[in-house]
A and B are shown apart, each in its own frame.
Chain A
Amino acid sequence: MIITEKKAMEEIQEMIAPYGKLFIVGCGTCSTSCQTGGEDEVKEMTEKLGDRVAGWAMVEEPCDLRINRRDLKAYKKQIAESDAILVMACGAGVQTVGIYSDKIVLPALNTLFIGETERLGKFHDMCRTCGDCILDETGGICPLTRCAKGLLNGPCGGQVEGMCEVGDYENECAWVQIYDRLKEQDRLDLFTAFRPPRDFSKKTLKMHRYF
């Protein structure tokens, strides 16, 4: 799931200040699960913004252009009369709503990561969408995401009792976790193997070509 957090209301107020009427779009998928852009949060936002709100709608998946067309069809008039759309979805959702509507779009959320949900409100950063997955070599634990330095041949000298120097030793060192997992699985040969430099062009060159 795409994990998002709400921006502070002061930041949103500052962002919307130059615009008059606003239309608000919520997300029926990830942001609903994160409780950052579901129907409840959209209603709360409309209450906070009062008269400025020209209307609001839930889009099942704001990141899908086809679903924007389907779910926003009935709101064309309200959207046209708005100066901007405040989108309570991830960055992909904000941009897709912009493409669909051709309006000024404003993000109400910060997009954090692709993550695991442990329980409501507790998420773990799991994937950097690097475009070159090596989880088969690292015991199913992503060092690119879960090591603060993104090292492919860790650990570095900054782990203390298996905890990472980044963030006051509150996060586990991904490379110690990888070591433990591979040892458990009797696959330490994968740990000692050298992983050569990444080819970053793989992702850069296909970035805009995937549909």
Chain B
Amino acid sequence: MADKRPAYSQLVKDIRAGKFVLTGELEPEKVTGIEEILVSARAMKPYVIAANVTDNPLAYAYMNSLVPSWKVQEEVGLETVYQMTVRDRNRLALTSDVLAAAYLGIRNILAISGDHTVLGDNKGAASVYDLDSAQFVYLLHRMIDEGVDVAGNEIHGKVGINVGIAGNPNADPLMPEVLKIGRKTKLGADFIQTQTMFDIDKTKEFLKEVEKYKCPTLIGVFPLKSYGIADFFDRFIPGVSVPQELLASMKKAKEEPDKAKRSQLYDEVNLEFFRPFIKEIHKTTSAAGIHVMAVLYERIFEPLLEAF
């Protein structure tokens, strides 16, 4: 099914043209302005083909992701991947937002479950999950490929959007995750973006397992801007652990009292770890590209990605 869907976005066009694609990530927070997002988008634009815009990550109530997704395209000229969770919307609200996204010229949607509300900053909120992420991919297939909503009601106008799904190569056990991805690719996924990876062997194992689904896969990497971020990530992100050696190097860098020198040390630690990591993925695997989750760490893009 995915092969039959046209490439509506530059991201999917580049993937199908066989380019090694790079995507970035933007995170609206609990704010009423998006200037910071636009600054980040401008900073990463020379190095990435598109940027994901996160949707209440970790179930924190932030600005919605649609408006920044649109504004970044309009004002910065950087294509966006509009992330949508099924945690906060029932099928009516999902349909409404997809229609609005089509109107605003959004060309990619990443369909995800979303972290449970009990992990977030409004722990008492109901988690919706009217649909799960597979059923959301099905809804998108109906809207994009068949011109109807999930109940079969006709849409007036065209929804020209490519669909991404998430994958977690860190999953243990891995097979339920792999089969779940297979289920979704059959429903109409155009690409996969993975959870953050630090382990090259796990990355390769995952790519080998999902190869049969023929769905282009972008491997997630998360350059660590500071030791605090690394430590938070290691402790609080479900299923992700930062390698102890990397964590120790970050901790050592933290001890440098001079801020500018400390930043430089952090950059060096990141480049030392991620440059060979990305190179290895590029050279030795079938991955379609890299999804760089370097939120507010745009200075790392150039030294990290200039070779790709």
Q: Is B252 on the interface with A (CB-CB < 8 A)?
A: no
Which of the residues A155, A158, A161 comes within 8 Å of B116, measured between beta carbons? A158
Distance, CA A163 to CA B195, complexed state (A): 18
B139 contacts which chain A residues (CB < 8 A)?
197
Which of the residues A149, A156, A166, A192 comes within 8 Å of B182, measured between beta carbons? A192
Which of the residues B91, B129, B138, B172 comes within 8 Å of A160, measured between beta carbons? B172
- Tell me if B113 and A149 are in contact (CB < 8 A): yes
The residues in B between 163 and 187 inclusive whose CB is less than 8 angstroms from any CB of A are 166, 168, 171-173, 175-177, 179-180, 182-184, 186-187
- Tell me if A150 and B171 are in contact (CB < 8 A): no
Q: Is B145 on the interface with A (CB-CB < 8 A)?
A: no
Q: Is B39 on the interface with A (CB-CB < 8 A)?
A: no
Which of the residues B129, B132, B176 comes within 8 Å of A176, measured between beta carbons? B176
Distance, CA A200 to CA B130, complexed state (A): 9
B179 contacts which chain A residues (CB < 8 A)?
179, 188, 191-192
- Tell me if B176 and A179 are in contact (CB < 8 A): yes
Q: Is A162 on the interface with B (CB-CB < 8 A)?
A: yes
Q: Is the interface of A mostly helix, strand, loop or mixed?
A: loop
Q: Is A151 on the interface with B (CB-CB < 8 A)?
A: yes
Q: Is A148 on the interface with B (CB-CB < 8 A)?
A: yes
The residues in B between 75 and 113 inclusive whose CB is less than 8 angstroms from any CB of A are 87, 91, 113
Distance, CA A67 to CA B115, complexed state (A): 46
- Tell me if B113 and A197 are in contact (CB < 8 A): no
Distance, CA A4 to CA B187, complexed state (A): 41
- Tell me if B238 and A160 are in contact (CB < 8 A): yes
Q: Is B34 on the interface with A (CB-CB < 8 A)?
A: no
Among residues of B, the one whose C-beta sits closest to the C-beta of A173 is: B176
Q: Is B263 on the interface with A (CB-CB < 8 A)?
A: no
Among residues of B, the one whose C-beta sits closest to the C-beta of A197 is: B135
- Tell me if B116 and A166 are in contact (CB < 8 A): yes
Q: Total number of A-B contacts with CB less than 8 angstroms?
A: 97
Question: Per-residue CB proximity of A148-182 to B under 8 Å, as 1/0?
Answer: 11111111111111100111000000011001000
Among residues of A, the one whose C-beta sits closest to the C-beta of B139 is: A197
B184 contacts which chain A residues (CB < 8 A)?
153
Q: Is A194 on the interface with B (CB-CB < 8 A)?
A: yes
Q: Is B150 on the interface with A (CB-CB < 8 A)?
A: yes
- Tell me if A197 and B168 are in contact (CB < 8 A): no
Q: Is B118 on the interface with A (CB-CB < 8 A)?
A: yes
Distance, CA A166 to CA B118, complexed state (A): 7
The 7 A-B residue pairs with the shortest CB-CB distance, nearest first, are A153-B134, A151-B132, A157-B168, A179-B176, A165-B238, A156-B113, A160-B239
A-B contact pairs, 24 of them (CB 8 A): A149-B113, A149-B127, A151-B129, A152-B132, A152-B135, A153-B133, A153-B184, A157-B113, A157-B171, A157-B238, A158-B113, A158-B238, A159-B171, A162-B172, A162-B173, A165-B119, A166-B116, A166-B118, A166-B119, A167-B118, A197-B130, A197-B135, A197-B138, A197-B150
